[in-house]
Structure 1
Amino acid sequence: MLHQFTEKVKESLENGSFIKITLSNFLNNENQTLKKILIRKTIIKREENLTFVYRNKTNDITKNYTLDEGIKVIITFLTKENQEGFFNQAILFTTDFDLHLKNISKKPSIFSQKPTQKQAISTSHDKQKKRAIQTKDKKGNSKSYLQALKITDPTGKVYKNAQDKYKQINQYIEILSILLKQLPSEKPLQITDMGAGKGYLTFALHDYLKNNLKLKVNTVGVEFRKDLVELCNEIAVASNFENLSFVEGTIEDYQIKKEDKTNILIALHACDTATDDAIFKGIEADAELIVVAPCCHKQIRREIEKGRKELQNQLSPLTNYGIFLERQAEMLTDTMRCLLLNCCGYQTKAVQFISDTHTPKNVLLIATKKTSFLEEDMKAKHLKEFEQLKSFFGIEKHYLEQLILK
């Protein structure tokens, strides 16, 4: 009968009808604290598991097992020869039937009844949150741009190897959503995405503004790789995004037309000084919002390496180790960028826009245009802090500084 019970457990796990298992009436004279075990299926790190909740007299203990391990534990607890004790009753709940296994200690019996629950419960280990970018439109159809970018399959299910990218897209949109809602909505928003790449975030942002916030928006993605520009334009047309287009060009050379008032300038993972070029383009265009995710902070690192032989101070030991030098260069580069943006009338902040489990390049610099920041005393304060950092670390020049002063 135990074999029959476990076979039904395996079968329900395979066909998706499994709901839960309850083990009760624990028999063991030495251990009277364990009352029952509640078992459900969960998805942990994209793998199916069985989660056991050991319900004791004074507390609960939760343990996770693989499906095979979990079934072995169930068999152990339903075997009366088990030295640690066994459960005298078990119930398997499925969407098709409830299967009862009783009186294991004396005269075992097994029988099925009509299901008490006809819908499987969520298998998510964590509570699922509603994503800003849904994989389907209001009609229930999978969004074509997510399919084309290999994020989802035709049914709207996110591919396993695209889970991190999908989370990154949503976290990026969630962070920007509060800022975006504060922008004026009377006129169409003009967005310039520098170094758009394959357009994952460009498409998502345009989709969110157009379909979620119901805003009028014109989006231009700038990318120097011709094949990606052609691909993204094809996807934009297929997705009926009339005011989304991609143009071929570098961040440094691209000229934002003055008549096209850029409200938002974005540059995600533009390498080294390309991030500075993008920031400067935003400043030149008087953009209301500049959002960059810096990458490859080589320029300031070279400046530190060049000046450290002549300069010795309390932080000099940090520059003697490659990995610490790299991290110091990252923090210093981005701090100086923030100070320069402050000098140009922007309020700045730095946030982590996704866990470093998904990508190590996870810092987002957000600069919002604030008229109140244009006072000369504030500008002088930030400029003084900028110069102090240059002096302390022996930095001769910062690339963004040169762009602003030329």
Structure 2
Amino acid sequence: MSNQLSSFLQKISESFNQQQLVKITLGNKRDKSADLKNVFIKPVRIKNTEKLSFTYRNPTQDIFKNYDLKESLILIEKMLQTDFYNADLFTAVNDLHLAIDKNDITKIITKPATLSITATTQQHDKQKVRVVNSTTAVYLHQLGITTAEGQVKKDMQDKFKQINRYVEIIEGIIKDIQFEKNITVADMGSGKGYLTFALYDYLINTLKKDATIVGIEMRDDLVNKCNQIAKNIHYSNLKFEKGTIQDAEVPAINMLIALHACDTATDDAIFKGIQANAEVIICAPCCHKQIRKQMAPENELKSITRHGILLERQAEIVTDSIRALILEAHGYKTKVFEFIATEHTPKNVLIVATKTNKTETAKQESLEKVAGLKKLFNIKTHYLETLL
């Protein structure tokens, strides 16, 4: 560790112990392709113990962790050696800017303090700030999630949590995408409409975008109910139509969403999104029967797939891995990460694909990986391949 970095860490320790620390930021990432963009650190008090709260800023979600001073200094040192070139320490006395160049030469610039300690600086906000406000989001009451006073009902706490998580994910996905003025969305298998209404409200009332959303649902009663609610609260560009994912006509759209579509219905949705040249495709798959029935490896993997429960889990991983690779072969960048399970299914994987300018070589490499997986597990075909 350089003398300058050691000195910077010492300043953090001193300002923390003297209760003069306001915040720390880490930025200018070393690997420009890395998901971790920034880290923001502030002092908090948890159960009368002083700690440092870390916010790890990622494209799809922020991760929050709390550490004591010793742990924090170790983590900051490591991240400045492997992840970031710059760090800023803001204290009540002065500001320190640490810069590391590509040759790992470090320098510190000291400036007058720009921030001050406030009464709330070291308070830990135990009440999570929700992106969806239960008292102002009118659709929540119409859908039976909140009372007339805007209080979330006890039996709807999990649903409210899921809605917030969903909007947080959408926020992370689309914040760097330059949509045209009007955003058009197809929500395949919209069900009771909880997440469809949440997305419309977020696009219209939070982002102030012109948005049009169509929810596709095969159950008449749900289509009629959701259309009536949209009419009641004047969501004029939110419509629900009866139909199946497989048969739905999808025009040119910006986003296609299919949450918990069963088995190959997820593939039908992905196919519709690719066909429509959607800039974003979001799927939460449910059931993976089509591949599971075919999997019969003749290699060491046979020892895993002979157990029913392990075969099922392996089929989920292989099915969704191939889906992600096929999307990449059609010009998308993909991410697969954890969502939130619903009352209908414990499955909690989300596949997110965003349109990029991939080279033909990169696309071909993705197809070769698909072929390799199929050979490894003795799979004849993936349903999505037959659609494309």
- For normalisation by structure 2, the TM-score amounts to 0.66
Are 2:284 and 1:293 aligned? yes
Match among 269, 289, 310 for residue 324 of structure 1: 310
2:32 is matched with which residue? none
Which residue of the partner structure matches residue 129 of structure 1? 128
Q: Which residue in the other structure is 1:378 paired with? A: 362
Question: Which of the numbers 156, 160, 163 marks the counterpart of 1:166?
Answer: 160
Task: Quote the Cα distance in structure 2 between the aligned partners of 1:170 and 1:192.
Answer: 20
Which residue does 1:264 correspond to in 2? 255
| Equivalent AA in structure 1 for residue 233 of structure 2 | S
What is the SS of the residue equivalent to 2:167?
A: helix
Which residue of structure 2 aligns with residue 337 of structure 1?
323
Q: Do the aligned residues in 2 keep the contact of 1:342 with 1:382 (CA within 8 Å)?
A: yes
Contact 1:144 1:238 in 2 (8 A): no
Work out the CA distance in 2 between the residues paired with 1:211 and 1:353: 24
SS of 1:318 mapped into structure 2: helix
- Following TM superposition, by how much is the alpha carbon of 1:266 offset from its aligned partner in structure 2, in angstroms? 0.2
**Contact 2:263–2:285, Cα closer than 8 Å, also in 1:** yes
The equivalent of 2:247 in structure 1 is 253
Question: Which SS does the other structure have where 2:191 is aligned?
Answer: coil
1:183 Cα offset (Å): 2.8
SS at match of 1:132: coil
Larger Rg: 1 or 2?
A: 1
Q: Give, in whole Å, the separation in 2 of the partners of 1:345 and 1:288.
A: 10
Q: CA deviation at 1:358?
A: 11
Contact 1:164 1:358 in 2 (8 A): no
After TM superposition, list the pairs within 5 Å mapping 1:147-166 onto structure 2: 147-166=141-160
Question: Could you tell me whether the CA contact under 8 Å between 1:299 and 1:399 is conserved in 2?
Answer: yes
Q: Distance in 2 between matches of 1:248 and 1:357?
A: 23
Given residue 220 of structure 1, which amino acid in structure 2 is its aligned partner? V
Percent pairwise identity: 52
Find the residue that maps to 2:185 and give its secondary structure.
strand
Q: Which runs of 5+ in 1 are unaligned?
A: 1-52, 56-124, 138-142
Displacement of 1:356:
9.1
In 1, distance between residues paired with 2:154 and 2:250? 38
- Counterpart of 2:257, as a letter, is I
Amino acid paired to 2:248: Y
Aligned partners of 2:250 and 2:272 also within 8 Å: yes
Q: Against the structure 1 CA distance between its residues 54 and 334, is the aligned structure 2 distance closer, same or farther, given a 3 Å change threshold?
A: closer
In structure 2, the partner of 1:232 is: 226
The CA RMSD measured in Å over matched residues stands at 2.1
Q: Distance in 2 between matches of 1:236 and 1:351?
A: 31
* CA distance in structure 1 between the aligned counterparts of 2:309 and 2:281, rounded to whole angstroms: 29
CA distance in 2, matches of 1:203, 1:169: 10
How many residues are paired up? Answer: 268
- Could you tell me which amino acid in structure 2 is paired with residue 292 of structure 1? C
The aligned residue for residue 221 of structure 1 is 215
Normalization by structure 1: what TM-score?
Answer: 0.63
Residue 400 of structure 1 pairs with residue 379 of structure 2? no
Query: Following the alignment from structure 2 to structure 1, what is the Cα–Cα distance between the partners of residues 143 and 178?
Result: 31
CA deviations over 1:153-177 (Å, ceiling 9, x no partner):
1111111111111111111110110
For the residues of structure 2 that align with 1:166 and 1:54, how far apart are their CA atoms?
30
Bigger drift between 149-158 and 325-334 goes to 149-158
* Unaligned residue ranges in structure 2 (runs of 5+): 1-46, 50-123
> What SS class does the counterpart of residue 126 from structure 2 fall into?
coil
Residue among 187, 209, 227 paired with 1:193: 187
The whole-number CA distance in structure 2 between the counterparts of 1:338 and 1:267 is 15
Question: The residue matched to 2:294 in structure 1 has which SS?
Answer: helix
2:238 aligned partner? 244
* Change over 3 Å in CA distance of 1:262–1:242 after alignment to 2: same
C-alpha distance in structure 1 between counterparts of 2:342 and 2:215, whole Å: 26
Deviation sequence 1:354-392 (CA, Å, 0-9, x none):
379996211110000001x1x221122111110011011
- Counterpart Cα distance in 1 of 2:342 and 2:223: 29
Residues 195 and 358 of structure 1: is their aligned pair in 2 closer, same or farther, counting only changes over 3 Å? Answer: closer
Q: In the alignment, is residue 145 of structure 1 matched against residue 139 of structure 2?
A: yes
- In 1, the alpha carbon distance for the partners of 2:245 and 2:289 equals 17
Contact preservation (8 Å) 2:260, 2:345: no
Query: Among residues 276, 281, 300, which one is paired with 1:314 in the alignment?
Result: 300
Q: Which residue of 2 aligns with 1:16?
A: none
State whether residues 185 and 216 of structure 1, in contact with CA within 8 Å, keep that contact through their aligned partners in structure 2.
Answer: no
| Match of residue 351, structure 2, among 365, 384, 398 | 365
Counterpart CA distance in 1 for 2:344 and 2:236 is 32
Asked whether the 8 Å contact 1:185–1:215 carries over to 2, the reply is no
State the one-letter code of the partner of 1:267.
A
The offset of 1:298, in angstroms, is 0.8
2:225, 2:341 → 1: CA distance? 29
Instruction: Read off the aligned partner of 1:284 and give its amino acid letter.
Output: Q
In structure 2, do the counterparts of structure 1 residues 216 and 341 end up closer, same or farther at CA, with 3 Å as the change threshold? same
Give 1:256 deviation, angstroms. Answer: 1.3
Tell me which amino acid in the other structure corresponds to 1:164.
Answer: D
The 2-side partners of 1:149 and 1:317 are apart by: 48
Deviations 1:233-255 (A, max 9, x none): 00111111010000000000011
2:374 equivalent among 363, 380, 390:
390
- State which of 352, 357, 362 in structure 1 corresponds to 2:338: 352
Query: Relative to structure 1, is the Cα distance of residues 198 and 301 closer, same or farther in structure 2, using a 3 angstrom cutoff?
Result: same
Q: Distance in 2 between matches of 1:241 and 1:209?
A: 12
Q: Tell me the amino acid that sits aligned with residue 403 of structure 1.
A: L
CA distance in 2, matches of 1:210, 1:354: 24
Paired with 1:256 and 1:186, the residues of 2 have a C-alpha distance of 18
